[in-house]
Amino acid sequence: MKVIQNYIDGRFVPGKREFADINPANGTVIAHVSEVTEVQVDEAVNAARGALQGEWGRIGIRERAARLHRVADAIEKRFDCFLQAEIADTGKPVSLAAKLDIPRAAANFRVFADLIKMNGLEAFHTETPHGGNALNYAMLKPLGVIGIITPWNLPLLLLTWKVAPALACGNSVVVKPSEETPATAALLAEAMQDAGIPKGVYNVIHGFGPDSAGEFLTRHSGVNAITFTGESRTGAAIMKSVAPTVKPVSFELGGKNAAIVFADCEFDAAVNGLSDAVFLNTGQVCLCAERIYVERSIFDQFVEALKKKAENLNSGWPLDQETNLGPLISAQHREKVISYYKLATEERATLITGGGVPDFGDDRDNGFYIQPTIYTGLPESARCVKEEIFGPVCHIAPFDSDEEAVAMANDSKYGLAASIWTSNLKRGHRVARQMNVGITWVNCWFLRDLRTPFGGAGLSGIGREGGRHSLNFYSELNNICIQL
């Protein structure tokens, strides 16, 4: 059986022991993965540091950008390989991975290659106390070695979202993909080789979090910054781990995102948009809406329409073009989501649809499929309304005024995303400004211009990435003052 190895200093190397890579659609083992040792993490960090002293540290921005475009070319050339690997690891429908995950990986490299060439910085003419003049200008330098830790829900998309700007800024990276989805990070190493990225610039280590690859990387004194996407409580553990070496962190964490549907919305567009917002990627997108607030006059109609959408989803095999709902990532994650389905019943929710596990009568029964589920009737204080579930599930509640809707939407420790559905654009602007989140959509969802800031408030994260925000995070600013 195939073994997915660590990639250190331009070579694939085995680790200390192997763990299984499982296909969530049927529960079969598709590969073994080599877990890295602490010594190898040290080697990876040293290789990354060494690369900064070599060709990678000497080439100019134009050449760096050209090589990043070549990485994008190499991803596009191997599109089918990436697609098959991502689908096997995640179980996500081919229609989704082919439209979103793989194209976005290539786009991440192209966007940051172009942005770094255009990146300008401020300069100030300053009067000195004695009547002279000075010129202040800032320049960006690479931070050094960046540790990148990513989750399993959009594996290649989220990995490249960090690797591309980090490399564009002249850094080298050590990446730790999720133990659930190691395959595409390894394939990316091959694309890096094709594109002429020097050895040591891109390193991949496989393993788990505590006392494994993740922790070895975060506490390593040779790593200059950590960028992490994952659960809020993992972010808290990483903060502790980086504290002794005082590394900058960028955190994209969990969410319990709200949608507000006004009676004046374009009804069908809102139902279609929110069907995506709740069920896309089986609800395993940090931006998914798990709380929907609907103006009372259209509440029943909306619940009925979303129910129909949920019941028409097709939980097929991932490679079937008609499939639009894949399995959850793992047996363990399905247990977690089911525990919330049970909790909703205990909390006296009204079950509108779903609430269980489908029975296919074929090999999918060995996978981790789950029914798309809608609840109503919970109080705002219920745990199912407060806690991130990360599955194909939402709770729908009615509201009577704009103020009440805003208050309920904002009543969360998270603050990642919100969406507002109204045909009154004035109201759209007004309500959007009141959302305590990092990103608010009006009449759309998950529409991403890669140049815009991305990140969350509260438990949803620290800092922003995207466009110049990424370039700032992955660089050290040196303000130079010259007496004229």
Active site residues: 252, 286
Which string of DSSP letters, residue by residue, matches 64-113? HHHHHHHHHHHHHHTHHHHHHHHHHHH---HHHIIIIIHHHHHHHHHHHH
Q: Tell me: does residue 215 bind ligand NAD (CB under 6 A).
A: yes
Which of ligand 6OD, ligand NAD, none lies near 155, with the C-beta cut-off 5 to 8 A by kind? Answer: none
Q: How far is the CB of 236 from ligand NAD (least distance, A)?
A: 9
Q: How far is the CB of 454 from ligand 6OD (least distance, A)?
A: 5
Angle at which helices 425-434 and 402-410 pack, to 10 degrees?
Answer: 40
Q: How far is the CB of 262 from ligand 6OD (least distance, A)?
A: 26
Angle at which helices 155-168 and 102-118 pack, to 10 degrees?
Answer: 20
Q: Tell me: does residue 160 bind ligand 6OD (CB under 6 A).
A: no
Instruction: Give the integer Cα–Cα distance in Å for 254 and 85.
Output: 25
Which of ligand 6OD, ligand NAD, none lies near 448, with the C-beta cut-off 5 to 8 A by kind? Answer: ligand 6OD
Q: Tell me: does residue 154 bind ligand 6OD (CB under 6 A).
A: yes
Binds ligand 6OD by CB under 6 A, chosen from 49, 430, 448, 468? 448
Q: How far is the CB of 463 from ligand 6OD (least distance, A)?
A: 12
Nearer to ligand NAD, 399 or 414 (CB): 414
Q: Ramachandran region of residue 430, left (φ > 0), alpha (ψ -120 to 50) or beta?
A: alpha
Token couple for 332: 């363990």
Q: Tell me: does residue 254 bind ligand NAD (CB under 6 A).
A: yes
Binds ligand NAD by CB under 6 A, chosen from 103, 151, 283, 415? 151
- Quote the strand ranges of 262-312, DSSP E: 289-295
Which string of DSSP letters, residue by residue, matches 102-161? HHHHHHHHHHHHHHHHH----EEEEE-TTS-EEEEEEEEEE-SEEEEE--SSSHHHHHHH
Q: Tell me: does residue 229 bind ligand NAD (CB under 6 A).
A: yes
Q: Give the CB-nearest residue to ligand NAD.
A: 209
Contact assessment for residue 220 and residue 45, using Cβ atoms and an 8 Å cutoff: yes
Nearer to ligand NAD, 167 or 416 (CB): 416
C-beta atoms surrounding 438 within 10 Å: 23
String of contacts with ligand 6OD for each residue 39-78, x by CB under 6 A:
----------------------------------------
Q: How far is the CB of 177 from ligand NAD (least distance, A)?
A: 6
Q: Tell me: does residue 285 bind ligand 6OD (CB under 6 A).
A: yes
For the chain, how far is it from start to end, CA to CA, in angstroms?
A: 67
**Residues forming the site for ligand 6OD (CB under 6 A):** 153-154, 158, 161, 285-287, 448, 454
